[in-house]
Amino acid sequence: MSRWWPATASTWWTRTAGRSYIDCASGTFNLSLGYRHPAVVRAVQDQAEQLIHLTSGFQTGLVNQLAARLVELAPAGLTRAHLKVSGGSTANEGAVKMAQRATGRWEVVTLFRGHHGQTMAMTGLSGNAFRRAVLPPGAGAGLKVPDPYCLRCFYGQDRATCGLMCVDRIGDFLEFASSGSVAAVLIEPVSGNGGNIVPPEGYFARLRELCDAHGLMLIVDEVQTGIGRTGRMFAAEHFDLRPDAMTLGKGLGGSGAPVAAILASDALAGLPAADHAFTHGANLLSAAAALATLEVVADPVFLANVRATGSHILARLRQAQAVYRCVGDVRGLGLMIGVEIVTDRGAPDPGLASQLAAQAMGVGLVLRTSRYGRGNVVKIRPPLILTVGEADLICDRFEALLAARR
Ligand code: PMP
């Protein structure tokens, strides 16, 4: 087994043999502040001296403080925070339960390429049929609809003239393909594992209208996009989106503390906290790490750096696109970037994408591809503490990989 031990807040990890790798997957997209950010380490150490855990049935000042800070930062209308969850999947399940309780309906609309976790229910609601194949009948239930993936539009449309058919047609799905008992739409603002799909302008405004027209709760899964990843505290801000609930996880722990949250509107307030509570929820070490993380990320200078380094990488990758035919669409927001790997004819090339990811270690990069190695999009999501110099290194190394196969 190799070991790694970055000395301080670091975008890198190092093996015993002395080789360094720049981690473009930020662990599992959760090391938003890199390995061992000093503010997080200190907060966890200090808290550990006092108390590690108190069962979430009791109130603690620290957890209340985290709830209040999250509500303060959240988009308008999200007035409540529920922290008794154990991770992103159970945060999503809790938000769904809240929507079900509030509406008295049960079914949930998700996108073809959505990913919402790997509990039984979230595997069922996520795209990727290969993961649902072994679920018992019923566990894979949920209404899946085409993504706002303009480059490969399900309806064969062009954005200039489509009139956002991908939203409008959801009305038909509700009428003809649903159970007739639909509670919510659950959606990632930018798809994390589905290919880094950034919805076109106007998509979320139209989706909000559709939800309002049908009395559906709009839940945004910001487990991957939240806490600065896209250059704003929440990706919803890019789209001026007013969700009924938002889920958080991953990056909230800064340097890997396991913490997640559900933020919800008053309309979703009915679920008793004890009906969605997990042993490791509202953990004090995690709350301390999350508060320290929010302090760092909420700094406008920090978020500006995420946008600047992200734009720098996008610009360089677009230059590479002009040189290497296998580089297709390059897209993203902040440091949530995806690179489509394509054949000479522009078709998705998942085989080549996974080859590149496997070879990346050889040039000192940790790269992952979409849809668990079965997709054609290379994900570039390094820790948000990235410097421009490191951004250049990522691009240099990625280009070296591309050049080596010419
Ligand atoms: N939602 C999204 C968008 C995710 O990317 C993930 C994890 N990959 C989850 C939910 C599930 O989070 P967890 O693994 O913490 O349960």
Residues 256-301: pLDDT tens digits?
Answer: 999 999 999 999 998 998 999 999 999 999 999 999 999 999 999 9
**Residue 404 confidence (pLDDT) above 80:** yes
Ligand 1 pocket mutation pick from 31, 93, 250 by most atoms within 8 angstroms of CB: 250
Rounded to 10 deg, the angle between the 61-73 and 284-297 helix axes is 30
Q: Is the CB–ligand 1 distance for residue 192 below 6 Å? A: yes
Q: Mind listing the pLDDT tens digit for each residue in 48-64?
A: 999 999 998 888 999 99
**Residue 3 confidence (pLDDT) above 70:** no
Helix (H), strand (E), coil (C) string for 160-219: HHHCCHHHHHHHHHHHHHCCCCEEEEEECCCCCCCCCCCCCCCHHHHHHHHHHHHCCEEE
Q: What is the value of pTM for the model shown? A: 0.96
- Residue linked to tokens 């720098």: 312
pLDDT at position 17 is 60
Q: How confident is the model at residue 12 (pLDDT cuts 50, 70, 90)?
A: low
What single letter denotes the amino acid at residue 372?
Y
Distance of CA 21 to the CA centre of its chain: 23
Q: Is the CB–ligand 1 distance for residue 329 below 6 Å? A: no
Q: Mind listing the pLDDT tens digit for each residue in 33-89?
A: 999 999 999 999 999 999 999 998 888 999 999 999 999 999 999 999 999 999 999
DSSP bridge pairs for 253: none
Report, as an integer, the average pLDDT of 138-159: 93
CA neighbor of 339 nearest in space, from 318, 322, 358: 318
Count of CB atoms situated within 10 Å of the CB of 17? 7
**Residue 388 confidence (pLDDT) above 50:** yes
Please name the residue whose Cα sits nearest to atom 8 of ligand 1.
117
Q: Is the CB–ligand 1 distance for residue 251 below 6 Å? A: no
Separation in Å, CA 38 to CA 6, 65, 233, 278, 329: 12, 21, 20, 28, 37
Ligand 1 nearest-atom number relative to CA 117: 11
Q: How confident is the model at residue 141 (pLDDT cuts 50, 70, 90)?
A: confident
Q: Is the CB–ligand 1 distance for residue 115 below 6 Å? A: yes
Ligand 1 pocket mutation pick from 190, 224, 286 by most atoms within 8 angstroms of CB: 224
Helices and strands counted in the chain (H then E): 13, 14
Laid out side by side, the sheet with 377-380 consists of 327-333, 336-341, 377-380, 368-369
Q: Is the CB–ligand 1 distance for residue 86 below 6 Å? A: no
pLDDT at position 74 is 98
Q: Is the CB–ligand 1 distance for residue 222 below 6 Å? A: no
Q: Which residue has the higher pLDDT, 328 or 371?
A: 328
Q: Rounded to whole angstroms, how far apart are CA atoms 268 and 301?
A: 34
Q: Rounded to whole angstroms, how far apart are CA atoms 290 and 77?
A: 22
Q: Is the CB–ligand 1 distance for residue 191 below 6 Å? A: no
Ligand 1 nearest-atom number relative to CA 260: 15
- Please give the backbone phi and psi of residue 97, each rounded to the nearest 5 degrees, phi first: -60, -40
Count of CB atoms situated within 10 Å of the CB of 32? 30
Ligand 1 pocket mutation pick from 111, 116, 186 by most atoms within 8 angstroms of CB: 116
Q: Rounded to whole angstroms, how far apart are CA atoms 327 and 380?
A: 14
pLDDT at position 360 is 96
Structure tokens at 340: 């489509």
Report, as an integer, the average pLDDT of 155-161: 97
Q: Rounded to whole angstroms, how far apart are CA atoms 147 and 160?
A: 17
Q: Mind listing the pLDDT tens digit for each residue in 228-240?
A: 999 999 999 999 9
Ligand 1 pocket mutation pick from 29, 83, 89 by most atoms within 8 angstroms of CB: 89
Q: Rounded to whole angstroms, how far apart are CA atoms 206 and 212?
A: 10
Q: Is the CB–ligand 1 distance for residue 194 below 6 Å? A: no
Q: Rounded to whole angstroms, how far apart are CA atoms 386 and 335?
A: 9
pLDDT at position 328 is 97
Ligand 1 pocket mutation pick from 115, 190, 222 by most atoms within 8 angstroms of CB: 115
Q: Compute the mean pLDDT over every residue in the chain, rounded to the nearest whole number.
A: 94
Measure 223 CA to ligand 1 centroid, in angstroms.
6
Separation in Å, CA 152 to CA 211, 239, 256: 25, 21, 35
Q: How confident is the model at residue 1 (pLDDT cuts 50, 70, 90)?
A: very low
Q: How confident is the model at residue 13 (pLDDT cuts 50, 70, 90)?
A: low
CA neighbor of 217 nearest in space, from 92, 132, 89, 114: 92
pLDDT at position 139 is 80
Q: Is the CB–ligand 1 distance for residue 117 below 6 Å? A: yes
Q: Is the CB–ligand 1 distance for residue 326 below 6 Å? A: no
Report, as an integer, the average pLDDT of 108-115: 97
Report, as an integer, the average pLDDT of 384-406: 94
Give the whole-number percent of the chain exceeding pLDDT 70: 95
Q: Is the CB–ligand 1 distance for residue 221 below 6 Å? A: yes
**Residue 7 confidence (pLDDT) above 60:** no
Ligand 1 nearest-atom number relative to CA 258: 15
Q: Is the CB–ligand 1 distance for residue 253 below 6 Å? A: no
Give the whole-number percent of the chain exceeding pLDDT 90: 88
Please name the residue whose Cα sits nearest to atom 5 of ligand 1.
224
**Residue 169 confidence (pLDDT) above 70:** yes
**Residue 191 confidence (pLDDT) above 70:** yes
pLDDT at position 51 is 96
Q: Mind listing the pLDDT tens digit for each residue in 340-359?
A: 999 999 999 999 999 999 99
**Residue 313 confidence (pLDDT) above 50:** yes
Q: Is the CB–ligand 1 distance for residue 188 below 6 Å? A: yes
